[in-house]
Structure 1
Amino acid sequence: MTTTGLIALCLLGTSQAHAQDGRMTLGAVAGTTGAGADLAWRFSERLGVSARYTGGLDWNTDYRTDDVDYDGDVNLAASKLTLDYYPFASGFFLSAGLMLPDIDADVVGRPRNGSYAFNGRTYDAELLGTLHGKATLVDGVQPYAGLGWRQAHRSGFGVFAEIGVIPTDPDVSLRTSEGFEDMDNPLSAQLRQEIRQEEQRLEDEANEWPIYPVAVVGVSYTF
């Protein structure tokens, strides 16, 4: 083989090796945190970084405790930044990093038979008004771990799928629309205590789900 041919062969091999690295993949995804976009940069055969944002997933639900019936408007959104490891140099990857979720619900407590009952004590709904609150399942930066498939090892269209988990950190706040619990009388002080206990009951029930499942699917294109 001539020197020119050898150089050309080396250049071709180098070009093909680089074609396996530095690939960008853009995906449209939807799942348990809403719908959005996923962007990944696979800077080597086995390593890459990715970022994703999903949101816009809202729905109405109802919930019942021993004392109050609740209507809730649930809102979900999340963004994440992770390091991705491709152990087989294919599309399968393991992912670890940080997620910024915002999963909460605006809740309204409805009286039963014209009254609220807390711990066996009854309060007239006309006096208290409506019970309003916010229930947050998780908010703020949380660690994330997952696994999935991304068509990042070759150019063109492909499918995208990922499952993972984040820890939850429930928080619940409640108050009455008439602000009766803020008034300066013994009954108001008792009501404040009852409402704090109701908040704690709701948080304890939410803590039965220590992790939130993250699952998304979609389509992608690798450049």
Structure 2
Amino acid sequence: MNKCLTVGLMTALMGMGASSAHAFDSNVTVGALAGTTGFGAEASWRFHERASLTANYTAGLVWDGDYDSDNVTYEGDLDISASALKLDFYPFAGRFYLTAGAMFPEMEAHVTGSSTNGGTYELNGQTYSLDSVRGKLTIADGVQPYVGLGWRSSHRSGFGFFSELGVMATDVDVSLSASGSGTSDSNFQENLRAEERELEEDADKLSVYPVAVLGISYTF
């Protein structure tokens, strides 16, 4: 009798689990977003009550700034765009989710160095007479890993809001060029490369880029 009861309970539980699994219908959510990687659009396919696949693209964000190194002030605008492909996990089968995946950023700034000493530039401790110093600062490009957490109402149809916080790895690179009489010095290129490394080390203190997103969505 007990054996029959146990078998019956197990059968009932399995039936409930199967019923619950069949009760979930996959949903597609589309939305518009804004955040620290720009403005854009997102699409998310929630194929299971605890999992979804999400892709987005953002662009149009520009940060301007300057940086002082010895007697050189570097100024430039950082253009930011990024796309992403992520797998989301909903531990409670509701709105809250954890996410991980890959981002494909383009974060570059074309910089111009101006002298604070009337035309002389100090590079790696050596002073040169130059017409200009120009270069490119890359914060991240290619494929970068990403992790985060968020809140999305993709488990039910209709309009909703969503948000996400995360971090993306960076890959800093600096490339400089110069013109003027000082470039003829035999040690100039070596000192220019040393200036690049110094700028990279300072910029590389930001080993991750913070990603914060807010958006409005509709789930079908």
Superposition TM-score, scaled by structure 1 size: 0.85
CA shift in 2, pair 1:194/1:27, >3 Å: same
The amino acid that maps onto 2:113 is: G
Q: 1:110 to 1:44 in 2, by over 3 A?
A: same
> Quick one: distance in 1 between partners of 2:181 and 2:46?
55
Distance in structure 1 (CA, Å) of the matches to 2:200 and 2:51: 39
Gap runs ≥5 in structure 2 = 1-17
1:33 aligns to 2:30 (yes or no): no
Contact (CA 8 Å) 1:85, 1:93: kept in 2 or not? yes
**2:138 pairs with one of 136, 142, 147:** 136
Q: Matched residue pairs, number? A: 202
How far did residue 189 of structure 1 move?
2.7
Q: Deviations over 1:90-137 (max 9, x none)?
A: 11111111111111111000012221112342222xxx3211100111
- In the TM superposition, residue 16 of structure 1 has moved relative to its aligned partner by 9.7
* Runs of 4+ residues over 3 Å off in structure 1: 14-20, 177-181
Residue of structure 2 equivalent to 1:64:
68
Instruction: Please say if residues 67 and 119 of structure 1, whose CA atoms lie closer than 8 Å, have aligned partners that are also in contact.
Output: no
The alignment partner of 1:55 has SS state of strand
CA shift, 1:177, in A, is: 4.0
- What amino acid is the match of 1:115? T
Structure 1 residues 29 and 177: CA distance shift in structure 2, 3 A: farther
* Coordinate RMSD, CA, aligned: 2.0
Which consecutive unaligned segments of at least 5 residues does structure 1 have?
1-13, 182-186
1:167 maps to: 169
Aligned twin of 1:199: 196
Q: Which residue of 2 aligns with 1:119?
A: 124
Paired amino acid for 1:200: R
Q: How far apart are the structure 1 equivalents of 2:155 and 2:111?
A: 46
The structure 2 residue matched to 1:48, chosen from 49, 52, 75, is 52
Match of 1:9 in 2: none
Amino acid at match of 1:136: T
| Aligned counterparts of 2:49 and 2:181: Cα–Cα separation in 1 | 61
Q: Residue type matched to 1:103 in 2?
A: M
Equivalent position of 2:208 in the other structure: 211
Q: Counterpart of 1:106 in structure 2: which amino acid?
A: H
Decide whether aligned partners of structure 1 residues 67 and 159 sit closer, same or farther in structure 2, where only a CA change above 3 A counts. same
Q: Distance in 1 between matches of 2:43 and 2:189?
A: 48
CA contact (8 A) 1:34 1:77 kept: yes
| Helix, strand or coil at the partner of 1:43 | strand
1:119 aligned partner, one-letter code: N
Task: Give the structure 1 partner of residue 14 of structure 2.
Answer: none
Query: Measured at CA, do residues 196 and 151 of structure 1 come closer, stay the same or move farther in structure 2, by a change above 3 Å?
Result: same
- Cα deviation for residue 47 of structure 1 reads 0.9
| Secondary structure in 2 matching 1:149 | strand
Post-superposition shift, 1:21? 2.5
Q: What per-residue deviation string (whole Å, max 9, x for no partner) do you get for residues 4-58 of structure 1?
A: xxxxxxxxxx999767421010111011100101100001111110001001101
C-alpha separation between the residues in 2 aligned to 1:96 and 1:145? Answer: 4
Aligned to 2:93: 89
Structure 1 residue 67, shift from structure 2 partner: 3.3
